[in-house]
Amino acid sequence: MKALLSVLAGALLALVVGDLLILGVGQSPAEVYRLLLEGTWGNQYGFAQVLYKATTLTFTGLAVALALRAGLFNIGAEAQLALGGFAAGALGLLLPAGLPAPVAVVACIVAAAMGGAVGGAIPGALNAWFGANEVITTILLNFVILFFLNWLVTAHLHVPETVHTPAFTNGTVPRLSAFIPAFKGSAANATVLLAIVAAIVTGWLVFRTRYGYELRAVGLSPDAAEAAGIVPARVRVATFTLAGALAGMGGTNFVLGYKHYYEDGFTGGAGLIGIAVALAGRAHPLGIMLAALAFATLSQGGLAIHALVPKQMADILQGVVILAIAIASRQRS
């Protein structure tokens, strides 16, 4: 109940700041919010775009939440997402044309998970074995990994005059508009189902397995967990690796479902917003999916109101919501 209240308080604060911004540029809040809802949940294309954006955010939200359950802060979802997308895009190019499509898709999803897992395993190992603060290492590694991918793509793999790799054909996932014609033009694709499965599996792992029990024990009290025979270092490495894999799979949404190539910078802050999604969703799979939809609505809604109010209002409101969440999720000291 208290959790729900704090999320509502955040939404309310965002609404107040939003009103002030809208009035500040001389528009009517009622009219702007009407447009925002109409451009998202009010028509099929807008709704499909919300689904598309929520898909990536669900993956990054899960990646942050899983680590959070173990008492770790994963600020590296941005780079893990990029690594996953890159791995999927690279494998897509390498797969032989004759491979059956389902096999190719699964192979690319596994590649995305493995790419992200590498990005998670590094800070996990640095934390567990060298005691390096994971908040700082994941922030710094974001830069290192994104610079590295930028070099790989721009120096070796890009299509001339672009910052993306060549497109592939085997391993792609169909868009939802293939089944629901009203979604025509939207990037929403079948990886939304993968996101739902990932949320369910993550929930099962955390709440129904021995590993999940150990993970939560380490998150609540590493000392008590150790006394009970759990090895916190091992749990931390495993958790960060899994978290990275989850964020990495998020890369399939853009790479397998939308563009069919890896593009430098495609993550666009989805890893950072994943932190907000995980916190607003109280690190629970269902909460994460709802929070992902909410943040996706804000982001897509920004585009719908751009004629009246600069779309950057959505960024400001995201910041306000996260600040409110920060206040609600008081320190554990």
Partner 1 sequence: MIGLILQIVRLATPYLFAAAGGTVAEQSGIVSLGLEGYMLAGACAAAFGSYYGGSVWSGVLCGAMGGAVLAAIHGIATIRFRADQIVSGIAINILAVGTTRFALRVAFGSSSNSPRVPGGASGLLEIAGLLSIFAVSAVIDRTRFGLRLRAAGEHPEAATSVGISVSRVRAVAVVASGILAGLGGTFLALDQHQFSDEMTAGRGFIALAAVIFGRWQPLRVGAACLLFAAAEALEINLQGTSAIPSQFVAMIPYVLTIVALAGIVGRSVPPAALGKSGH
Contact footprint for partner 1 (CB under 8 A): 21, 24-25, 73, 75, 126, 130-133, 135-137, 139-141, 143-144, 147-148, 150-151, 155, 269, 272, 275-276, 279, 310, 312-320, 322-323, 325-327, 329-331, 333
Could you tell me which of 106, 108, 136 has the C-alpha nearest to residue 123? Answer: 136
Work out how close the CB of 177 gets to partner 1 at its nearest, in angstroms, rounded to a whole number.
Answer: 30
Query: Of 42 and 319, which CB lies nearer to partner 1 in the complex structure?
Result: 319
- What are the C-alpha distances in Å from 327 to residues 3, 46, 132, 219? 12, 32, 26, 21
Residues whose CB is less than 8 angstroms from the CB of residue 128 and which lie 6 or more positions away in sequence, other chains included: 232, 233, 234, 236, 237
Work out how close the CB of 202 gets to partner 1 at its nearest, in angstroms, rounded to a whole number.
Answer: 21
From CA 110, how far away is CA 180, in angstroms rounded?
27
Query: Of 110 and 316, which CB lies nearer to partner 1 in the complex structure?
Result: 316
Cα-to-chain-centroid distance, residue 203: 16
Query: Of 101 and 136, which CB lies nearer to partner 1 in the complex structure?
Result: 136
Q: Which residue blocks in 131-231 are alpha helix, DSSP H?
A: 134-152, 191-208, 210-220, 222-227
Query: Of 142 and 186, which CB lies nearer to partner 1 in the complex structure?
Result: 142
Work out how close the CB of 151 gets to partner 1 at its nearest, in angstroms, rounded to a whole number.
Answer: 4
Q: What is the longest distance spanned by two Cα atoms in the chain?
A: 63
Work out how close the CB of 250 gets to partner 1 at its nearest, in angstroms, rounded to a whole number.
Answer: 18
Half-sphere exposure of 164 (CA within 13 A, CB side): 16
Work out how close the CB of 287 gets to partner 1 at its nearest, in angstroms, rounded to a whole number.
Answer: 16
Angle at 267 between CA 191 and CA 202, to 5 degrees: 45
Looking up tokens 């949404």 gives 253
Work out how close the CB of 4 gets to partner 1 at its nearest, in angstroms, rounded to a whole number.
Answer: 18
Angle at 307 between CA 301 and CA 312, to 5 degrees: 55
Query: Of 158 and 260, which CB lies nearer to partner 1 in the complex structure?
Result: 158
From CA 124, how far away is CA 119, in angstroms rounded?
9
- Structure tokens of 271? 């890893």
Query: Of 153 and 225, which CB lies nearer to partner 1 in the complex structure?
Result: 153
Residues whose CB is less than 8 angstroms from the CB of residue 329 and which lie 6 or more positions away in sequence, other chains included: 6, 279
Query: Of 200 and 307, which CB lies nearer to partner 1 in the complex structure?
Result: 307
Work out how close the CB of 147 gets to partner 1 at its nearest, in angstroms, rounded to a whole number.
Answer: 4
From CA 302, how far away is CA 324, in angstroms rounded?
20
- Judge contact between 281 and 46, C-beta under 8 A: no
Work out how close the CB of 105 gets to partner 1 at its nearest, in angstroms, rounded to a whole number.
Answer: 31
- Structure tokens of 16? 């107040």
Query: Of 2 and 333, which CB lies nearer to partner 1 in the complex structure?
Result: 333
Query: Of 21 and 198, which CB lies nearer to partner 1 in the complex structure?
Result: 21
Work out how close the CB of 183 gets to partner 1 at its nearest, in angstroms, rounded to a whole number.
Answer: 29
- Judge contact between 272 and 79, C-beta under 8 A: no
